[in-house]
Every structure is written in C-alpha cells, then in structure tokens.
Structure 1
C-alpha cells in the first residue's frame, strides 16, 4: 500500500512509518514546511520515499493522511486532480488540542462524510467540535528508546520548543519557582535566552538543543522529567521520558492525567505540589528510579509501537475499499 503524508511531526511520523507500507513524503527544493522530505535527525526506514510534486501526479496512492487544513488542496493539485476523500481514500489526523474559545472550537473537518477524523488523544476528540464527521482515536505509539535512565545528574529535564514565545501555554512562567526546587535543564528548539528572559542564573536554568538520539541520552541522565505544560494534546517527549524510565512530575492537565499512573510520578494542578515532588526526587534517587521503572512499564503497555501500528492497520482496512 502507498500512503501519502507530509513530514509534519518528526516523532509521530517516525512511529507511523515503521508500518508495513510504502510511505510517500513530498519534497521541495527548499525543504520547507510543505516539502521537508525524509527526516534528517530521526531514523526512518527505506520504505519512506521522497517524491517531488511532479512525481506525485501519476503516483499510485492508496491513502492520503492529511494533517493540516491546506494539505487537501495541495494533495488535489499535486495528485493531478485526485481529491482526498473522494477520488483517493483519506483520513485527517489531528495532533493538537483546540485553541481559542475552546468549548466552541469547530474542527476544520467538521461535518464531512468523505473522510475519518483521527485524534491522537481522547482529550482532543472530546474538546474539538467534530460535527457529524466520523471520528476515531489512535493513541500515540513510541519507538522504544530502551530503559536508559540513570538519574545521576541531580537536575530536572524539561523538553519544550519555543518556551519564550509560547509563554503560559507551555508553563514557562512556572519555571522560576520550580527551579528553586530542582535546577532545570531545558531541551528543545528556540530555548536560547530562556534563563535571561526569566531572570534566572545559568545554574538554575540551562538550555540545550540536541538531535533525538542525543536528547534521549541527556534526558535519561537527569533525576526526573518535569512537564509544566498547561495546554497541549499530549507531549511525545513526556511519553519518551516514561519509556526511558524517568519519574514524571507534571501539571494534571489535558491527557496527562490518563497517560501517567499515580505510582509513576506526581500530577497536580498546584505548582507547589510539583515543586515538593521535584525536591523529593532530587534527594531520594532510589524512589525516583522505582517510580521511573513503573512509568516505563505503563508507557510500554499503553503507548507501545505494536499496539499503535495495529490500530492504524485496522483503520486502514476500514477506510480503503
């Protein structure tokens, strides 16, 4: 089967392309957002093929996985007039929780009868107004990085992209108080200047941008994983931290309350509770390792790659005539 999808989210796509199909990924000369081609920092199998728009025109395509509203028009144009959902089976994959006036936020694919709207969390499906469109939930799957946790660095790992720009959404404003409980190592794109922005010393808040393989190694050396995000779908970095064997300290918001069992870390909507938990893990490395081991077992059971790929296979069989 030939599956057309854009390279939008590297971590999610890395799991998806582990399936048994051929994956067609658009590529443009500038490798911009609509034509990134194959990943440069994630290990993708040889079954992922880069195709330019002129190559897609006559390419056999069995399924289109749309992930952004404008991709439907792009796909129709690049596939020589074949319309996703009408001429080619299609699903729309929603990675994100709604923004704005959330209780009334209508999904761009609401009230469509020509595709399935797939959410990556039950939280997403609940909070989007999907109208009459058929929906499904296929929870995340993670390519297991292995139990790498050592926790020998007595600091908290935080993974977030563009924390200064995204501000309260990612809980950036909570970091100064939390850094008093445990010094922070913040990994992600656009983290440069974060300590200065928050008025923190380099000791209390360090930042670094690493490729995926290096990121996992660096995270696993830290004593705990801190997830201060107020509003998101479900951060894949949180699930990766659990796979690594890290204990979790996180805001009890969005899908996190379903993903992290009570014996794998501490969840709360009270920042002072999170600070106390981080301080405890910092001073009790054995307890941190035990909770991290339980986090790993829970993540493997619920967010393992095998279950993820099997869920997608079942949906594809339903969608493709």
Structure 2
C-alpha cells in the first residue's frame, strides 16, 4: 500500500512507518512544518521516501493520512485536485486532547466524510466527532531496549516547548520540583529553562536511562510518547493522574497521582533506593512492551487500513 502522510509527530510517525508499506512524506526546501521530509533524529526504514509537492500529483496513492485541519486542502492542491475522502481513501489521525470549553470541542474533521482515529480513549471521549466513524488505536513505539542504569541519582523529565506551553506540559510543576530535587529537563527549547535541548532520539534515550527516575507532569496532553519510552527503557515513572495516564498505567506499575506532595515523596524514595527503582522500572517495561509494543500497534493499523482500502 502506498500512503501519503506528513511528518508531524516524530515518535508516532516513526512507529507508523515501520508497518511494511510504501510511505511518502512531503519535503520543502526549508523543511518547515508542511515539508519536514524524512526524519533526521529518528531511525526510519528505507521504504519512506520524501517528495516535493510538485511530484505528488503523479503518485498513485492508496491512502492519505491526515493529521492537521489544513491538510485536507493542502493535499487536494498537491495531489492535482484529488480530494482525500472523495477521490482517494483517507483517514484523519487526531493526536491531541481538545482545548477549550467542553461544550465547544467540535472536531475539525467531523464533516469531512473520513474516519477519525484517536490515539487514546480519553481523546475520543472528549472530542465531538459528530457522525464521523471513530476508532482508537493506542500508541505503539519501537522498543528502545532495556537501557536503564539509574547510575545518576537524578530525575529526568521531557517536555517539548515547555516555556511556550507552560501549564499544559506542567512546566511550573517541573520547575518547582527542580527547586528541591536534582532534575534534568529534556526537550525542544528546554535549554531556555536551563535544561538540555533537543537531542537525537538515541542520545535522548541514553541520557534518560542514566537518570534514576522519570517524572511526567503534563496536565493536558495526550498520553506522552516520552512516558512510554521511559517505561520501555526500564525506568521507574511517576506521573500526574490526568487525561489517559490512569487508564494506561496500572497502580501496580507506577505511581500515578494528582498530589504534588505524593509525587515528590515517591521521587525521593526512588532516588534513595536504587534496588526499588530498578524493580519498579522492570515492571514498567514489561507493561509498556505488552500494551504499547510496536507489533500490536501495526496489527491494529493494518486491520483498519484493510477496511479503508479495498483489495
């Protein structure tokens, strides 16, 4: 199957393009948001090609995977007038929890005539998708391997654009915790807050795994892939009990709570007890491999794609 999609979310796209199909991602000279092209900090299969917009009109795509509201018109233009959902099968993947007043959370693709796939059950519950067919395909990530050493009695947190996104990513909670505990913040623009800037994916995993515990303090985002990656690395995790986290992480796997005092106390306990941290990390890895493994993710996607694209 030949699939057109934009490179929007690096970790999610990395899992998706391991599915054994032919994938095309648009590329622009400046590699801006509408033309990032192939990943440069993630390992992608050779089957992923990047093509400029002017080359897309002649490509015989089996499916267009949409992820942002403006991509419907953009795809129609770049495909020479072929409209996704009408002239070529299409699906819309919604990565995000909705923002705004609950009575006004209307999904932008609800009237496009294409199915909408949510990455968490929480997101499907919160978005008003009207009569559009909806599905949930939970995250699946490439196993980074059990790399946890916990050799540094420090805390790791990952938040992209933490300064701009503020309370959404729990930046205030991260900075407050950093006042009392040795915490290293990783992510895009983290250096503006005294953290470590964007690293190649493999380097990020190595540095995360050297820290003894991972904290995930996002207030209102979808289930963070960095959280799942930390678990698969074998790290013990402590997370806010918001959005999908309490559904995705059982109580016997990690501490999931909305109480900052419990978060801090648990982190201190794990920092002080490497054996306990290692044991909890092993449980987290086992759970993450079973529920958020790449094989399950790709099987779920292949089943949906088979329904959307007739043989």
Partners of 2:64 and 2:197 lie apart in 1 by 36
Aligned residue in 1 for 2:151: 152
Asked if structure 2 preserves the Cα contact closer than 8 Å seen for 1:182 and 1:282, the reply is: no
Contact conserved, 1:160 with 1:188, CA < 8 A, in 2? yes
Structure 2 CA distance for aligned equivalents of residues 4 and 276 of structure 1? 47
Deviation at 1:174, TM superposition (A): 1.3
Structure-to-structure mapping, 1:170-209, within 5 angstroms:
170-195=169-194, 206-209=195-198
> Following TM superposition, by how much is the alpha carbon of 1:180 offset from its aligned partner in structure 2, in angstroms?
4.8
TM-score, structure 1 length as denominator?
0.94
> 1:273 maps to what in 2?
262
| Partner SS, residue 274 of structure 1 | helix
Distance 1:214 1:101 in 2: 39
Following superposition of structure 1 onto structure 2, how do residues 1-321 of structure 1 map, counting pairs within 5 Å? 1-112=1-112, 114-195=113-194, 206-321=195-310
Task: Please give the root-mean-square deviation of Cα atoms over the aligned residues, in Å.
Answer: 1.1
Count of residues paired in the alignment: 310
Q: Distance in 1 between matches of 2:155 and 2:34?
A: 35
Instruction: List, as ranges, runs of 4+ consecutive aligned residues in structure 1 with deviation greater than 4 Å.
Output: none
TM-aligned CA deviation for residue 54 of structure 1: 1.6
Deviation at 1:258, TM superposition (A): 1.6
Say whether the 8 Å CA contact 1:67–1:93 is kept in structure 2: yes
Does the aligned pair in 2 maintain the 1:21–1:47 contact within 8 Å? yes
Per the normalisation by structure 2, the TM-score is 0.97
Q: Is residue 103–residue 127 contact of structure 1 (8 Å, CA) maintained in 2?
A: no
Distance in 1 separating the partners of 2:183 and 2:305: 42
SS at match of 1:240: helix
User: Does the Cα contact within 8 Å between 1:146 and 1:244 map onto a contact in 2?
Assistant: yes
* Deviation string, structure 1 residues 98-150 (Cα, Å, up to 9, x no partner): 011134310001244x2110001111101111111100000000100000001
In the TM superposition, what is the alpha-carbon distance from 1:181 to its structure 2 partner?
4.9
Structure 1 residue runs without a partner (length 5+) = 196-205
Deviation at residue 28 of structure 1 after TM alignment: 1.1
Using a 3 Å threshold, how does the CA distance of structure 1 residues 277 and 97 change in structure 2: closer, same or farther?
same
Alpha-carbon distance in structure 2 between the residues aligned to 1:72 and 1:111: 12
CA contact (8 A) 1:22 1:48 kept: yes
Q: Extract unaligned runs of 5+ from structure 2.
A: none
Native 8 Å contact 2:63 2:309 kept in 1: yes
Distance in 2 between the 1:187 and 1:164 partners?
Answer: 12
